[in-house]
Amino acid sequence: MRVWGDPSEFLGIKIYPATMENCESFYECVQCLLFEKNRIQDIQVIKMSYLDFLFALIRQNNSLYAKLDKLLSIVLQNQKYDFTYEDSKIGLLIEGVKLNGYEFEDIKRIILHQNLIQNREDFYDEDMEKELQEAEEFLSRKNGTPATLEERVVALHCLSGSSFQEIKKYTIFQFNKALERFAIIKNFDVYSALMAENGASKDIQHWLSHVEDRDKYADVIMSEAEFNKLTADEAFGKA
C-alpha cells in the first residue's frame, strides 16, 4: 500500500516514493517523464520507447539530462545506475540489472503512481485538455490564488499536530492524502452539526468514505452523480 511509504520493487530494483523533503526537486524533475510522445504525429516517434524518445530530446536540450539524473537519484536513493547504448537503443543499468527502453516505462509508471502524478496523454485528447485548461484558469481567477506548498505544510502541521520535521519525512502520497482526509473530516463535522441543528436530513460525505485519486482537472470536471448531488443540494438550500 502506498500509504506506508515503502518502496516498490521491479526486477529486484527498489523504487522509492519521493518525500516532502525533496518534493520541490521531484516536481521539477518529474516533468521529464510527462512529455506526450504519442501525440506527436510521427510514426517513428510513436514506435520509439519513451527512454529513446527522451534521449532524442536530451540531444536537443541537455538540461533535461540533469533533471532525469536528479529524478533517478531521488527514487533510486543509494542504488547505482547508469545508461547503456546498445544496437542504437538506450537502456538503463541499475545495480547490475539491465533494463531496456520498454522496461523503463514500467519504472516510469511506478514513479507516477507512487507520487500521485497523472500522465495526461492517457486521459484526454488535445482539444478536451485545452478546454479543461481554460476552465481551470477561469476557476482559478474566480476563487483566488490557491495555497502555496509552504502554506499547505503549515495547514497539515496545525491540523495533525505533526512537527515540521515529521512532515518532511512524509511521502508526497501521505502528505496529500492526509491533508485531503482532514478536509473531509472537517467538512463532515461542520455539515453534521448544521444538519443536527436544523433537524434536516441530507447526504454528506462520511469522513471514512472512499476517495478516488484526484484528477488534475477534478475541480472543473463533474460526473453525472456529482451533478445530481449538486442540483439536490441547491434544491435543499431553497427549501
Contact 216, 234 (CB under 8 A): no
Residue ranges with strand state E in the chain: 8-10, 13-15, 81-86, 89-94, 97-99
Q: pTM for this structure?
A: 0.79
CA angle 57, 68, 134 (to 5 degrees): 70
By C-alpha distance, which of 76, 118, 119, 122 is closest to 99? 76
The answer to whether 58 and 64 are in contact (CB under 8 A) is: yes
Which strand ranges, in their side-by-side order, compose the sheet holding 89-94?
81-86, 89-94, 97-99
Contact 154, 163 (CB under 8 A): no
* Ordered per-residue pLDDT tens for the chain, 239 residues: 999 999 999 999 999 999 999 999 999 999 999 999 988 889 999 999 999 999 999 999 999 999 999 999 999 999 999 999 999 999 999 999 999 999 999 999 999 999 999 876 655 456 655 665 565 565 556 566 788 999 999 999 999 999 999 999 999 999 999 999 998 888 877 767 666 666 555 566 665 677 677 655 454 444 455 545 545 555 545 54
Contact 15/75 with Cβ under 8 angstroms? yes
How is the chain split into domains, by residue range?
2-115, 126-238
Residue 54 · residue 32 · CB < 8 Å:
yes
